[in-house]
Structure 1
Amino acid sequence: MLYHVRMDVHLPPDMDADEKAALLEREKAYSQQLQREGKWPHIWRIAGEYANFSILDVDSHDEVHQLLSGLPLFGYMDITVTPLAKHPSDIKD
């Protein structure tokens, strides 16, 4: 199942620099592992924002929830998830 996900990050401006660096390193490692596994095939930065659009490819709504709630930045994000379905006019299989 494919999902379009928008993630907006809102880190506290007064967050300790070392804590922030460690958090971002864990986030990067987690998301890159999911990319290697094929569960996160696309990620794009939204220009001018601390946000991204991603496509997730997982087996269920429960799995997408588990994947997103496992993000180290989850508590600092606003996330919008949209399940996707094949469009009848798409010429690709």
Structure 2
Amino acid sequence: MEFLVDMVTTVPEGTSEDEVAAMRGREAARSAELTVQGSLLRLWRPPLAPGEWRTWGLFEAADADELEAVLASMPLRAWRRETVTPLTPHPNDPGQPPRQPGR
């Protein structure tokens, strides 16, 4: 299954720039691992308001429980809230293989 995850991060007040940089580094490393594992497929940056820290991610997991384990393994999870949308294939998706006649 694929899931679209809207991730909004709020850095706790009083967090130093060094702590933020370290957290971003850990998040980038974990994201790279999840990509190699096939769990993290894509990341996008939507239009942002001033000071907003937000990412959209496309994840693949067997089910919601597996996705939860993946999201829980990401360091920034401590600072963010997430909205998860399960995705189902659309019959007219141009990324799907063409249908064979008679099928």
Q: How high is the TM-score relative to the length of structure 2?
A: 0.80
Match of 1:81 among 81, 84, 90: 84
Match of 1:90 among 90, 93, 100: 93
CA offsets, 1:17-57, max 9 Å, x none?
Answer: 22222111111100111112221111001222310111101
Structure 1: gaps of 5 or more residues: none
| Structure 1 counterpart of 2:14, one-letter code | D
Rounded to whole Å, the distance in 2 between the matches of 1:15 and 1:71 is 18
Report the CA distance between 1:90 and its aligned residue. 2.8
Report the CA distance between 1:85 and its aligned residue. 0.8
| Structure 1 counterpart of 2:3, one-letter code | Y
| Structure 2 counterpart of 1:29, one-letter code | A
Q: Secondary structure at the match of 1:7?
A: strand
Structure 2: gaps of 5 or more residues: 98-103
Report the equivalent of 1:71. 74
> Over aligned residue pairs, what C-alpha RMSD do you find?
1.5
Rounded to whole Å, the distance in 2 between the matches of 1:38 and 1:86 is 18
Rounded to whole Å, the distance in 2 between the matches of 1:83 and 1:2 is 6
Report the CA distance between 1:14 and its aligned residue. 1.9
Rounded to whole Å, the distance in 2 between the matches of 1:90 and 1:40 is 20
User: In the alignment, does 2:13 pair up with 1:10?
Assistant: no
Q: Secondary structure at the match of 1:41?
A: strand
